[in-house]
Structure 1
Amino acid sequence: MENLFADRPVLATGEAFDELLRCRNVRIERIVSSPMPDPAWYDQPQDEWVVLLAGRARLELAGDVLEMGPGDHLFIPARTRHRVLATSDEPRCLWLAVHIEP
Structure 2
Amino acid sequence: MAEAQLQQFLEKVRQLNAFVALSESQPALRDALRACDQHHEVVALAAQHGFEIARRWGDSQAAATQPKEQPSNQSNLLSSSCPAAGEERVDRLIEGSGWRLERIHSCLASSPEGFWYDQAETEWVIVLRGSAQLQFEDEPEPRDLCVGDSLLINPHQRHRVVTTDPDPGTLWLALFWSADA
TM-score (norm 2): 0.53
Shift of 1:90: 4.7
Shift of 1:9: 3.6
Alignment of 1:1-102 (within 5 A): 1-39=74-112, 40-64=115-139, 65-102=142-179
Shift of 1:58: 0.7
Is there any run of 5+ residues in structure 1 with no aligned partner, and where? none
The structure with the largest alpha-carbon Rg is: 2
Change (3 A) 1:38 1:48: same
**What number of residue pairs does the alignment pair up?**
102
Q: Distance in 2 between matches of 1:11 and 1:37?
A: 13
User: How much is the aligned-residue C-alpha RMSD, in angstroms?
Assistant: 1.5
Shift of 1:91: 4.3
More strand, by proportion: 1
Runs of 4+ in structure 1 over 4 Å off: none
Deviations 1:14-54 (A, max 9, x none): 21111001111210000011113233310001000000111
Q: Distance in 1 between matches of 2:166 and 2:88?
A: 13
Deviations 1:48-87 (A, max 9, x none): 0000111111110132221101000010000110000011
Q: Distance in 1 between matches of 2:167 and 2:106?
A: 11
Give, as a single letter, the amino acid of the residue that structure 2 aligns with 1:48.
E
**Identity value in percent:** 36
Q: Distance in 2 between matches of 1:77 and 1:27?
A: 15
The answer on whether the counterparts of 1:15 and 1:38 sit within 8 Å (CA) in structure 2 is no
Comparing both chains, which one has the higher relative contact order based on Cα–Cα distances under 8 Å and sequence gaps of 6 or more? 1
